[in-house]
């Protein structure tokens, strides 16, 4: 129950254990087509360029930046946690100029600040932000931020690694131009693949490049020779066959549940955890309006050794929760309720274990109320 990888569903694990076949085998190519259309459903898009990059979320991030950013391009990067900082790195390594919009860790990206920055930087070409900041448990308003980007003729690159399948994400309706995600968070799949999607406007910018994409492996023009349209597939790299079996199964399961139902389940379970956490007298870091249901940042009570609590949870209850990062190190715990792991049983185990360890460590918490509150909230 940390910030990912989340528990991988047994159905996905057994799909991954199927025999490895050739990555140009017609049966495999047929499965690739299914993965593309299932991903379009998961991302709520009709973008033809919707594929899983053969590497983790960070490679999906690089795919977006190396293809879209040309040397000299000005990119406005909104940062309110760890992952916005990585976007800045990517812009600069691709030869772009990053203009930062900073918000406090634990707060959502401020649309007004973004708009002010775009007014002062009329030559900016791209806006980039993180939809679900896993480092702080904050959800920013992607629809609003994309609309602001478009108003100033910028393309929008969105990090949706933690939001995909966990909270509403509508690529076409919101007009997102380029997006990357991951498999090991709310899809409950093994780590190692990164779904990405690109709009027609984004592809136009890539086609109009004056310079070659500096990464051979992530150059979409080449990758599409393998993943692309109806034409025959050409070898680019050996696809991670078994990892793709897993992603296929995860996406089939998502379709069986229904994407809206998955969003609702994450939201409902967040409320159940919240009832227990608050009954214990603990509080959330993030304002209610911007809380991520799949990543709950809980403030460590005064005088409690947060590392020791996490170690005891792991050793005594076999339960992993996440630590705070950067400025929040030592100040919060991050409890993941992602994918398959977002269920009542996990919440009750987590609340029970956390309460008993906190009591033994003499923390000033309300005893004996959390489980009842959670069960009542789940009824």
Ligand X SMILES: *Cc1c(COP(=O)(O)O)cnc(C)c1O
Residues that bind ligand X (CB under 6 A): 4, 56-58, 83, 130, 134, 159, 161-162, 182, 191
In terms of CB distance, is 171 or 373 closer to ligand X?
171
Q: What are phi and psi of 64, to 5 degrees?
A: -65, -50
In terms of CB distance, is 1 or 348 closer to ligand X?
1
CB of 130 to ligand X, least distance (A): 5
Select the residue whose beta carbon is closest to ligand X and give its number: 57
In terms of CB distance, is 47 or 183 closer to ligand X?
183
Q: Are 319 and 349 in contact (CB under 8 A)?
A: yes
Whole-number CA gyration radius for the chain: 21
In terms of CB distance, is 54 or 134 closer to ligand X?
134
Q: Are 332 and 309 in contact (CB under 8 A)?
A: no
In terms of CB distance, is 262 or 353 closer to ligand X?
262
CB of 196 to ligand X, least distance (A): 12
**Is the backbone of residue 323 left (phi > 0), alpha (psi -120 to 50) or beta?**
beta
At a CB cut-off of 8 Å and minimum separation 6, what does 62 contact?
90, 215, 218
CB of 202 to ligand X, least distance (A): 19
In terms of CB distance, is 94 or 130 closer to ligand X?
130
CB of 175 to ligand X, least distance (A): 20
CB of 181 to ligand X, least distance (A): 9
Cα–Cα distance measured from residue 238 to residue 20, given in angstroms and rounded to the nearest whole number: 12
Buried b (16+ CB within 10 A) or exposed e, 318-332: ebebbbbbeebeeeb
CB of 184 to ligand X, least distance (A): 6
Which helix (H) or strand (E) covers residue 164, if one does?
none
């Amino acid at each position: 129950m940390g910030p990912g990888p989340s528990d991988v569903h047994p159905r996905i694990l057994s799909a991954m254990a199927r025999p490895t076949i050739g990555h140009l085998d017609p049966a495999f190519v047929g499965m690739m087509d299914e993965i593309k259309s299932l991903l379009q459903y998961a991302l709520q898009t009709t973008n033809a360029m919707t594929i899983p990059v053969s590497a983790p979320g960070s490679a999906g991030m690089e795919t977006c930046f190396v293809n879209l950013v040309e040397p000299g391009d000005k990119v406005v990067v909104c940062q309110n946690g760890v992952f916005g900082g990585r976007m800045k790195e990517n812009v600069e390594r691709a030869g772009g100029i990053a203009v930062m919009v900073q918000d406090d860790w634990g707060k959502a990206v401020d649309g007004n600040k973004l708009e002010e920055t775009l007014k002062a930087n009329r030559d900016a070409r791209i806006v980039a932000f993180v939809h679900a900041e896993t480092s702080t448990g904050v959800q920013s308003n992607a629809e609003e931020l994309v609309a602001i980007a478009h108003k100033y003729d910028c393309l929008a690159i969105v990090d949706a690694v933690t939001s995909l399948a966990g909270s509403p994400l509508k690529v076409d309706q919101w007009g997102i131009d380029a997006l990357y995600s991951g498999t090991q968070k709310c899809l409950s799949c093994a780590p190692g693949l990164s779904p990405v999607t690109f709009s027609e406007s984004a592809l136009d910018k890539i086609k109009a490049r004056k310079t070659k994409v500096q990464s051979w492996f992530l150059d979409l023009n080449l990758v599409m020779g393998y993943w692309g349209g109806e034409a025959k597939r050409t070898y680019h790299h050996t696809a991670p066959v078994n990892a793709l079996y897993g992603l296929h199964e995860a996406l089939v399961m998502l379709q069986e549940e229904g994407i809206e139902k998955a969003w609702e389940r994450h939201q409902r379970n967040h409320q159940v955890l919240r009832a227990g956490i608050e009954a214990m007298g603990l509080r959330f870091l993030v304002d209610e309006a911007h809380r991520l249901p799949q990543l709950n940042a809980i403030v460590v009570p005064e005088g409690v050794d947060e590392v020791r609590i996490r170690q005891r949870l792991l050793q005594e209850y076999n339960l992993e929760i996440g630590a705070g990062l950067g400025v929040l190190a030592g100040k919060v715990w991050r409890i993941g309720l992602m994918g398959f792991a977002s269920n009542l049983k996990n919440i009750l185990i987590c609340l029970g274990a956390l309460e008993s360890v906190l009591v033994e460590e003499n923390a000033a918490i309300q005893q004996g109320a959390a489980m009842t509150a959670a069960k009542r909230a789940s009824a």
